[in-house]
Structure 1
C-alpha cells in the first residue's frame, strides 16, 4: 500500500512496491458501434501499431518506455504513448503523455487482452512488467501496461526524490516524534511547491482521471473487450473503473484488495491486526515455532510499548552502503517493520525474539535496508500519491477516526503510536500541506457489478487486510473470492497457486481452478539458537 512511507522491502523474486490504497469528472467515450473489429482476431493491425484518436485522447506508436529496472520483456513489446488532457474539466488545456507497452502472449493469443493496474498509489506499471510475466499472466493474452498519470514513465513524472531521501536520512531520528513529523511535512511541502512550480495541476492527479485515462486507452487502441488485473492500490482504481467505465469489460481480477469505501488510515490498522494475527497463529500452530517462541503476539505488543517509551539506537551495515548507519527503533518503527516483514514471514518470530533478548540488529538491518535501497529513491510519484490521499482519503476520515481504529485493533498501544497509522505516517498533516480539493463523496461508493471478478487476498496481508476481499466481493454478484493462506500482500507476486488461479480465471471467468489451495502449507519458521 503506501508510496512515500516506510521502506518497501525487496522480495526474493521481485521488487514490488505495495503502497496503499480524487477526482474530477471523467468523460464518456465513443460508443462501441464506432469501434473496429475485435483486436487480435485477425482483423486490422496488431495492437499498438496504428495511431488512433478518440475525443481528446490520442495513441501514437513509438519507442518503449524507460523502466526503473532492466526489463528485457520490452524487447518484443509494441509500445507508444497515450496523450490525454491533464484535467478533463479543461479538455482543450494542457496535455500529458502516458507510456504504453503491450507485451505479447507467449503461447496462444486470445482476442481479449489484459490491462495491468499498478499499485501505490504512485507506482509505475511499466516497471512491474517482469512481475506480470514471471507469473505467466501473458501466457494466452497480450498484457497492456500504461503508466498512470504522473508516474515514473509518464510525462510529466511527478516524483520527489527529496521525500524519499528524507526517509533514508531520518533513520537516526525517533520515528513518531513531533519534530520528525514537522521535518517530514516540510519535505512534502517542498515536493508540492516544486511540482506546482513546474506547472502541474496537482488537483488533476487522482483516481477518477486515471480511470478515464484507461477508458480512453481501450478505445484509442481499438479494443472491443479487455480484462483488468489490479494489485494493491490498483484494486481501488479497478473497482472505481468498474463503476465509471464498465463498457468493454470482460472480467476483472483484484489482488490485495483496497475498496475505495474503506481506503485510509483506519483500514491499515485493521490490516495490521489481521495480518499479524495470521503470522502469530501460524507460529503457534507449528510445534517447533510455538515451543521456541511462545506467546509471540504478547511479546511483540510488549516490545512496541517498551520501545515507544525507551527507543533503542543501534548501528548496522547495509549492502551498498560502506559506512555504518545509525538506526533508532521505537514502537512505530516496530509496527511498520512488521507490516512489511510479513513478506518474509518465516524469519519474523526469530527477529522478534532476538529483539526481546536485546539484539535489534536483524530488524534494524531490514528497516534500514529498505529505506536506503536505490529502489526506494526517485521512483514513486508523490504527486499522484498525495493527490489520491488528500482528495479521496483524508477528507472522509478524521485523525480521531484513525486513532480510534488503532485503539480497537491494539488496545495496549500508546497514543503516540496510534496517531500514525501503519504506512501513513503524518498523513493528515501532509495533506494540509498538499492542499487539493476534496473529491466528490461518490468516489468512495461501494462498487456493485455483475462483471465476473476474481477477488484475491493473502492470509498474512498486513497492508490491506484479508477481510477486505470478502467485503468487496459481497456486492460483486459474479465474483469468486479466494483467500490464499500464509501469503502476504499481493499474492500473485509470491504464490504459484495464486498465479494458477489467476490465469485460469481469465480463461474461464465464472469457474477458475482453485484446487491448488488444498495443498498449501504454512512456512517453516526459522528457529534460532
Structure 2
C-alpha cells in the first residue's frame, strides 16, 4: 500500500477539465486571474486558500487565510515533486510577483506544477502595508518623522506584527506542503526569498528535493548593511564600461563623475520639476534632491535595460534637462512601490537585521550613503521584534542539490554572496550571467538550465555554455537607442 502522502500527491497528476476545480491533497484550486500591482501584467492561474494560526504557539487563536497560487504543469502526467516559488522583498506577495517572472518558470512547468503562497503580511489576507512618502515627490523626512510614521503604521494594524518574521513564515510553507500531500519540493527563492528558502531547508530538510537560489542572500548578512557598497561597485562597473567605449565616452564623457556632479548639485539646490506622468501624461511634480538621485541610481542599476539608459539620462539632467531622467525613474518606481508591504518588511528586518546594523563612516560619501541603515534603525526603534529561530544566521550546511544564480552586475546581491553560500553546499553550482543585474531566472537559457537541473539533480553536469551569449545591453547614445 502506498503511503498516504504519495497517494495524495499522485492524485495531483489528474488534470481537470478546463475551468473546473482541481484538488491536490487537502486544497481545492479554482481558476483565478493574478495581477501585478503597478503594471498591466496578469496571468490566468488557479488559486486556493490555506488557513494557518497567526501565532503557531496558539493554534486556537487568530487565523490567517493565505492565498495559494498554482501554475499547473503542461504535461498530462506531471511529476509529483512540485516547484515552490518564494518571492523577495521582504514584503512582496508571491501571487502578485509571479506574473513578472512567469516566463522563467516556463520550462519547469513542462513537467511540474509551480505552487506559491503569499507570505504572511502580504497579498489579500492580513496585508501589512503602510502609506509611506513617495521618495520621488516628497522631501526626505526627519529622523523624528520617520519614527512617527512607523508608530502610525503600527497603530493601523489589527495584527500581532511580531508573528511575521521569516522564522514564523517557514512554518506556513511546511503547512502548505503537508496540505498538498507532503511531496518533497523543488524550492526556488529570489532575493530575500533565498533567505526564506535556506531557512526552510534548514528547519524542514525532508521537505526539500532541490534548491534554486537566485540573487542569493547569505544567512549571516544583515539586510541593508552592504547596500551602499554593493550599489557603488555596480555603478562603477556599469558607468565605467561606458567611459571605456569610444562612442559612449565621446557622447557622455565620464558618467560616473556626472552622477556625483548631479548628486552634489541636487544636495545644495534641490528642485521640484514638473513632468508629464509617463503613463497618463497628466501633470506631475517630481523632486530632484540628493535622496532622489540615490533612489534613481539604485533603481536603474537593477536591470541591464535600464542601466543602458543611465549615461544618457544623467548627461541630460546635468545639462539642465532632468525631465527624462525623472520620468523614467517614476515609471520604474511606480511599478515597484505598490509591490512592497512595508509593515511586513519591518517585521522581518527589525527582528532579523536591525540588531546587526550600524551606520558606517566609509559609506557616508557614497551615492546611497547611510540612508537605508538610518531609516531602518529609526523605524525599528518602535517596531515589535518577533521570533528568530536558533541558528538562523548560520550557513546552511546541506547535501541537497542546489543551483545558485547571480547577475554579474547585481547592485544588491553580488555574485560573491552566492559563492559564500555555496561553500557549505557540496552538491551545488553557481551560474553567473555576464552583464546581468538582479535575478537571473528569466534571462537567456537559464529557464532551460533550471528545468534540466530539477530533472537530473546534477548541477555539475549542466552544460551552461549557452549563458556565454549574455552580456550587458548596449548604451543608448541618444533617444533612438544604441549605435547599430
TM-score normalised according to structure 2 size? 0.87
Change (3 A) 1:190 1:201: same
Of the three residues 220, 223, 241, the one matched with 1:282 is 241
Change (3 A) 1:223 1:284: farther
Deviations 1:151-194 (A, max 9, x none): 113x222223x22xx32xx644333x52xx54444333222101
Deviation of the 1:50 alpha carbon: 4.7
| Residue aligning to 2:468 | 518
The question of whether the paired residues in 1 share the 8 Å contact of 2:299 and 2:329 is answered with no
Cα distance in structure 1, aligned partners of 2:393 and 2:83? 25
Change (3 A) 1:46 1:448: farther
Change (3 A) 1:372 1:133: closer
Deviation of the 1:285 alpha carbon: 4.2
Of the three residues 61, 65, 68, the one matched with 1:93 is 61
Deviation of the 1:148 alpha carbon: 0.9
Q: 1:177-216 maps to which residues of 2 (within 5 A)?
A: 178=142, 181-195=143-157, 198=158, 200-216=159-175
Of the three residues 286, 309, 314, the one matched with 2:273 is 314
* RMSD between superposed Cα atoms in Å: 2.8
Cα distance in structure 1, aligned partners of 2:418 and 2:233? 13
SS in 1 for 2:67: strand
Change (3 A) 1:184 1:369: farther
Cα distance in structure 1, aligned partners of 2:264 and 2:54? 46
Change (3 A) 1:352 1:442: same
Change (3 A) 1:215 1:441: closer
Q: 1:13-412 maps to which residues of 2 (within 5 A)?
A: 35-37=4-6, 41=10, 49-50=22-23, 59-61=26-28, 63=30, 67-69=34-36, 73-75=43-45, 77=46, 79-107=47-75, 109-135=78-104, 136=106, 137-153=108-124, 155-160=125-130, 162-163=131-132, 166-167=133-134, 171-175=136-140, 178=142, 181-195=143-157, 198=158, 200-342=159-301, 343=303, 344-372=306-334, 376-377=337-338, 379-398=339-358, 400=359, 403-404=360-361, 406-407=363-364, 412=365
Q: 1:460-499 maps to which residues of 2 (within 5 A)?
A: 460-493=409-442, 495-499=443-447
TM-score normalised according to structure 1 size? 0.80
Q: In the alignment, does 2:395 pair up with 1:433?
A: no
Of the three residues 441, 451, 458, the one matched with 1:503 is 451
Deviation of the 1:272 alpha carbon: 0.5
Unaligned runs of 5+ in 2: 480-484
Change (3 A) 1:404 1:505: farther
Deviation of the 1:142 alpha carbon: 0.7
| Residue aligning to 2:482 | none
Unaligned runs of 5+ in 1: 1-32, 53-58
Cα distance in structure 1, aligned partners of 2:290 and 2:93? 31
Change (3 A) 1:470 1:83: same
Deviations 1:420-479 (A, max 9, x none): 03xx66111111132334635632222222211111111221122232221222222111
Deviation of the 1:382 alpha carbon: 2.5
The question of whether the paired residues in 2 share the 8 Å contact of 1:39 and 1:46 is answered with no
Deviations 1:319-355 (A, max 9, x none): 3455422222222321221111122111111112222
SS in 2 for 1:89: coil
Cα distance in structure 1, aligned partners of 2:412 and 2:322? 23
The question of whether the paired residues in 1 share the 8 Å contact of 2:347 and 2:386 is answered with no
SS in 1 for 2:109: coil
Instruction: Say which is worse superposed, 282-291 or 460-469, in terms of deviation.
Output: 282-291
- Between the two structures, name the one with larger relative contact order (CA 8 Å, sep ≥ 6): 1
| Residue aligning to 1:29 | none
The question of whether the paired residues in 1 share the 8 Å contact of 2:222 and 2:354 is answered with no
* Count of matched residue positions in the alignment of Structure 1 and Structure 2: 463
Deviations 1:506-528 (A, max 9, x none): 22232333111222233111113
Cα distance in structure 2, aligned partners of 1:438 and 1:249? 23
Change (3 A) 1:372 1:103: closer
Runs in 1 of length 4+ with deviation above 6 angstroms?
Answer: 42-48
Cα distance in structure 2, aligned partners of 1:362 and 1:463? 25
SS in 1 for 2:73: coil
SS in 2 for 1:37: helix
